[in-house]
Every structure is written in C-alpha cells, then in structure tokens.
Structure 1
Amino acid sequence: MNCIKTMLTPSSVLHPLNKNMAFVQQKPLLFSLIIFCFIAAASSRGPIYAPPNVPRLTDSFGHVPIDQGYSEFFGHPNIQLTNNGSNANLTLDKVSGSGLASRSKYKYGFFSAAIKLPSGLTSGVVVAFYLSNADVFPHNHDEIDVELLGHEKGRDWVLQTNIYGNGSVHTGREEKLYLWFDPTQQFHLYSILWNNHHIAFFVDNVPVREFIHSNASSSIYPSKPMSAYATIWDASEWATHGGKYPVNYKYAPFVASFGEMEMEGCIWNTTGSASPCSRRSLSSSDPVDGETFAKLSQEQINGLQWSRRKLMFYSYCKDTARYKVIPPECKDSS
C-alpha cells in the first residue's frame, strides 16, 4: 500500500469535512492505482507464493560433473565449462545457440539440473533440459521436456512440460505454468523422474506435473532409451505466437548457467552384455523403478495440487480447439 499512499493526492486528507465526497470522487483513481501497484509489484518478478514443504528428492542422488557426464551437442564456441568442469554456461548469440548431450543413454531414471536463466528482455529465447532419442529414432522418437520460455515484453518466464512417445512434436502433451520465483536471480532445480509407473516433473523438488503410465497412455508413453540434453536456442517462431516477439539480439548474449546435474537410473548398455542396464552409482538404496518412486507421497501430492491450482494456465487436456475429443489419458490426470 505504500505505492498507493505515495501517489494519492493530499486533498483527501486536507479537507476532513469533505472526506466522504473526496473518497467517492477518488474511488476510480484509487482502483486504478491499486491495479498499477499490483502490476508494478508483479513486474519485479519477486516471490508470489510460498510453496508447501516437500521431500527433497534431489538429495537422494549425487551430482555428476558436466565434463564427465556430458559432451558438446552443438555451438562449441558458446559453451564454457566453469567450476572445474562441474558447471557450464550455455550462450545464445546471433551466430548460434549451444547445447550439451549426456554421454550415456538411459532407460528410466532421475534427471535434474540447477539452472539460472538469462535476465533482461528474453522473448523468443528457450532454455531446455530434456530427454530424447531423436538421434536414433528420427521419425518416431520419444521425448520428455522441461522447456523454459523467455517472457514476451516483460511477462514472466513460462515453464512448459511436454511428453510424447513413438511420435513427433505434433503428438505432444504440453502443459504450461508460471514460476513462483524469479528464475534469473539464482539457481533453481528442475527435475524429471521417469520410470515404468509414471513421469513426474519437479521444480525445486515441488511436483508440478505427473503423467501416469496406464492403458490409456501406453501408446504415447516414452519407452525407449534416451539421452539427456541441456540447450539454449532461438525459438522465436515457435515460442512467441509465430514470431510475434522474436529474439532481440540487441540484448545478446543470452547466457544460461547449468550445475548440480544428476543422472541416476538404468544406463543402457549396447555391448551385448547379459544385463541391458547398469547404474551410475549406488547413491540411492532404491532404484528409480522401485517402490519408493512408484508413486508420489502424500506430501508430494499436496505440492502437486498446490502448483497446479496456483500456477498452471494451460493444459492440452482442456484445449478443445486442438483436440475435438479429449485424449483418453486426460481422465487419469483429472
């Protein structure tokens, strides 16, 4: 309310006999000021909501240095390893974006990255942490995406999650939500849990989406080994309503910082060994397809309900323009 007190005219307090009339006359102004102050507060992109307490799933697994777990994917000049190879800065400029790819492929696992996003006007910039096997199955690949979409003309960063199996981007299952913090000020954790039971997405260990493996979803459920990727790229045409707000390279370079990488699960062996899987470490007493990870705990369910109620603003399950008939797995998510 300090914003309103500062901007109100002194006349409302200098004429006590006309107090009621002055208040009535200033009601439209007061309403406008409230809206102005609300927008000003939102534009500061500080914390909006306090998330509920949830288990720290990321504490169950060890960190993998980027120079040990990842190789360069593209944009060599725009990749800078830091902290003795544990972290990396990925840059987008007029010449190129950049990206990393995991050295191993995984059949199920837990994948996490601490990411700090570029600040300033970042419309059209997309930072992604995802799983894919498009290199092996270009026409019917699987993918699990965490995509951070640069804001449009001052709007907040948007988190988009997407899932598809045996298909392409046209068969995706997108959902979008706003973050409850400014992702450009410090590192935040973005995580994916993928096993035979479900796929769960987490932000700072708070579940933001769960996609259950069921008869209804089995045909589109990712099932083939995938690599993990970290990228930054120009997605002007895709992420900003057909290029309405393209990347403005006057504000380049755009730098996304990655660290605290975690990859734990079934590392896919292609050597013909008896077991197709090996584990990177024994940091967890329970593999990611075991009972502990088969379903969300009650605390995690509470966190999931909180994030979807407060922050989600798009789900393909509600997109009747795109899907004339609601996809069958949407009944699971409800």
Structure 2
Amino acid sequence: MLSITHTALYVAFSLISLVTVASSMRHNSPIPPPTTSLTDRFPHLGFDAAFTYLFGGKNIKKINDGSCVSITLDNSSGCGFKSKEMYYYGFFSAAIKLPSDYSAGVVVAFYVSNSQVYPHNHDEIDFEFLGHEKRKDWALQTNIYGNGSTATGREEKFYLWFDPTIDFHEYSIVWNQYHIVFLVDNIPVREVSHNEAMSRAYPSKPMSVYATIWDGSDWATHGGKKPVNYKVGPFVAWFKDLEMAGCAWNQTSPAASCSKRGSLSRDPVEGNEFMKLSEQQQRGMQWARSKFMFYSYCDDLKRFPVLPMECRGRGKSLT
C-alpha cells in the first residue's frame, strides 16, 4: 500500500463512491429532507490560489493540480493549511472524506479563526470531527467563540446520517451580521442568531479559514480515555470543492475593506438568501437536530448551573 501514489489513492477512493447508495441501503440510512443547495452558488478554489501551509507541510499532498488535498496524521506530526485571505464575514465550505476504521483520538477540523492575530481576544467558528472506535460513529462537534469567550464553550454534538468515511460530504459555514449557520450537505444543523444575548460572544473580527488534522488524545474520545493508536495509522482526511466567498479584509489598507454591514445588492453572503433560514431549511434543521444531536451545552446543567444568556431566551435582534 505504501507504494501507491496519492493520485492513485484518490482515484481508488473516488471509485468507492459508486457503492455509496448500496451501502446506505444496507445500513438503512435515513433520507434527509430536500433543501436549497447553497454550495452551488460559489466557485471551487484551487489550493495554490487560495491557501497556504500552516504546519506539517510534508503531510499535506495536493492532487489534481490542487483541486483535492489530503492531510495526514502520523506518529511524527499532524498538519494543516489556511486561507491566504481573512474575511469579515462569508460562506465557507469544503467537501470532506474522513479516515476510516479505528480513529479514536483523531481530530479533523474545518473552521474559521483569528487566534494567530488576536491570541487573547480571538473569534472562532468550528466544525470538529472526533474520531471513532471500531464499529462506532464519528462525532461532529460544532462550537463558537467570540471576542475571547473561551471560558464558555458553546459545543453541540451530532452523529451523522451517513458514513463520512465512504464518500465526500459537504460541510459549510454561513457567517454574517444576521446569524451563523452550520450546514451538512446543505442541511442546517445549527443556527446562532446575532441577538442581544449573544452580542458579546458573537464573532466580529476578520478570520482565516483552516483545515487541520491532529492528535486529540487528551480529550477527543471519552474524555481522553481512548488515545490515538498509531499502529493502525496513518490517518488521512481528504478535502475538495473548497469555497470561500464574502468580505475579504484588506490587511494593508483596512479602511478600504468592504463594510461588515455591506450593501445587500453587492454581496450575496449579505443578501436575502443568507439573512434567515427558509421554511424548508428550518424543517431540515428540525429533522437533523431531533434525530442526530446528542449534546448541547444549553442542556448541560451540571456544567452550567446558570445557563448562558442565549440559552435562556432569544433576546432582541441586533440586525
């Protein structure tokens, strides 16, 4: 297996997608409700044009001229890449295929953050994929930090209605002045409104887009009881169909950057389709949350005897 090139591996993994439907039938996977495809609105970006290495460069491989990228965790290092641009708001999406087999302790992340620029007051919006034991599921964790509010983790966790190791699936973030929405295959699984209750913790500064794979042995699986087993590694995740659209920050001339409250007619990510969830999207979100969410910080009274403000009521809209 070690002699096979990454290109050959990519072709082999692509062929696996042909059996996805049959696999779903065997596992009796739920059929999600129909929804609007936001990922069809924006072009796909190549690696060299839009991204740069973050760490562990030797474990990052570009395939098909950078239209697909593999990131690997082995016993020497994890790795990651980041966008060249920072954004005041936007739509960020990637089609991801996760490592298969035993992957306890492995963390794959797709997120936006500015921790490198604002280390003591950073913002962050996370998709984190937490590895699984054999015959068990990957867990999807979402989280938000705003203005350094790391003392209050706002995690929500989900199981997925498909096997994320067999084929690519789309994971997307909408972030603008109205709300933050996490979407899986264009189905919203979580919405955070920009309202009075969230005003201090709502991400507000320009952020970069990141993709990483790393060792989360100390916390990721059963609170750290299941560390990464490198004997069954290396662990490889695949990213393609990368999309970034929105207000790019002009770092050399911030005054020339687009407004965070930009014109609806000029910027689709501030436009009507991104201002609020449609009835169809709301139905999709209710389906996903009722069937697949297994943890919300708003239900964790042991952790939060006094619930965060946004869990106690919606508050007055700030938009």
For this structure pair, what is the TM-score category when the shorter chain's length is used for normalisation?
0.7 to 0.9
| Alignment match, 2:5 | none
| Alignment match, 2:7 | none
Q: How does 1:36-51 map to 2 (within 5 A)?
A: 46=27, 48-51=29-32
Deviation at 1:285, TM superposition (A): 6.9
Aligned length: 289
| Alignment match, 2:197 | 216
Deviation at 1:167, TM superposition (A): 1.6
| Alignment match, 2:232 | 251
Query: What is the rounded CA distance, in whole Å, between the counterparts of 1:116 and 1:169 in structure 2?
Result: 29
Deviation at 1:273, TM superposition (A): 6.0
| Alignment match, 1:9 | none
Letter in 1 for 2:186: N
TM-score (structure 2 length as normaliser): 0.86
1:330 to 290, 311, 314: 311
Secondary structure of the corresponding residue to residue 166 of structure 1: coil
Q: Bigger CA drift: 49-58 or 233-242? A: 233-242
1:273–1:97: structure 2 CA closer, same or farther, 3 Å change rule? closer
1:263 to 244, 253, 260: 244
Query: What is the rounded CA distance, in whole Å, between the counterparts of 2:254 and 2:213 in structure 1?
Result: 36
| Alignment match, 1:196 | 177
| Alignment match, 1:54 | 35
Unaligned runs of at least 5 residues, structure 1: 1-41, 279-283
Query: What is the rounded CA distance, in whole Å, between the counterparts of 2:123 and 2:116 in structure 1?
Result: 10
2:289 to 282, 286, 308: 308
| Alignment match, 1:5 | none
Letter in 1 for 2:236: V
Query: What is the rounded CA distance, in whole Å, between the counterparts of 2:255 and 2:150 in structure 1?
Result: 35
Query: What is the rounded CA distance, in whole Å, between the counterparts of 1:47 and 1:268 in structure 2?
Result: 45
Report which of the two structures shows the higher radius of gyration computed on alpha carbons.
Answer: 1
1:206 to 181, 187, 191: 187
Letter in 1 for 2:230: Y
Deviation at 1:231, TM superposition (A): 0.5
Q: How does 1:48-197 map to 2 (within 5 A)?
A: 48-197=29-178
Answer whether contact 2:171 2:183 (CA < 8 A) is retained.
Answer: yes
Pair 1:277-2:289 in alignment: no
Deviation at 1:168, TM superposition (A): 4.9
Letter in 2 for 1:218: S
| Alignment match, 1:30 | none
Deviation at 1:271, TM superposition (A): 2.1
Query: What is the rounded CA distance, in whole Å, between the counterparts of 1:287 and 1:205 in structure 2?
Result: 17
1:97–1:276: structure 2 CA closer, same or farther, 3 Å change rule? same
Answer whether contact 1:45 1:182 (CA < 8 A) is retained.
Answer: no
> Identity over the aligned pairs, expressed in percent?
60
1:275–1:332: structure 2 CA closer, same or farther, 3 Å change rule? farther
Query: What is the rounded CA distance, in whole Å, between the counterparts of 1:155 and 1:169 in structure 2?
Result: 30
Unaligned runs of at least 5 residues, structure 2: 1-22, 260-264
Deviation at 1:153, TM superposition (A): 4.4
Letter in 2 for 1:88: V
Deviation at 1:272, TM superposition (A): 1.9
TM-score (structure 1 length as normaliser): 0.82
Query: What is the rounded CA distance, in whole Å, between the counterparts of 2:271 and 2:39 in structure 1?
Result: 16
1:227 to 201, 208, 215: 208
Measured against aligned partners, the alpha-carbon deviations of 1:252-303 in whole angstroms (never above 9, x if no partner) come to 110000000000000001222653139xxxxx97521222211001100000
1:136–1:251: structure 2 CA closer, same or farther, 3 Å change rule? same
Letter in 2 for 1:94: N
Answer whether contact 2:197 2:314 (CA < 8 A) is retained.
Answer: no
Query: What is the rounded CA distance, in whole Å, between the counterparts of 2:188 and 2:40 in structure 1?
Result: 15
| Alignment match, 2:6 | none
Query: What is the rounded CA distance, in whole Å, between the counterparts of 2:127 and 2:182 in structure 1?
Result: 8
Measured against aligned partners, the alpha-carbon deviations of 1:145-176 in whole angstroms (never above 9, x if no partner) come to 00111013432001000001012543220000
Answer whether contact 1:76 1:98 (CA < 8 A) is retained.
Answer: yes
Secondary structure of the corresponding residue to residue 131 of structure 1: strand
Answer whether contact 1:46 1:182 (CA < 8 A) is retained.
Answer: no
Letter in 2 for 1:202: L
Query: What is the rounded CA distance, in whole Å, between the counterparts of 1:274 and 1:311 in structure 2?
Result: 44
| Alignment match, 1:292 | 273
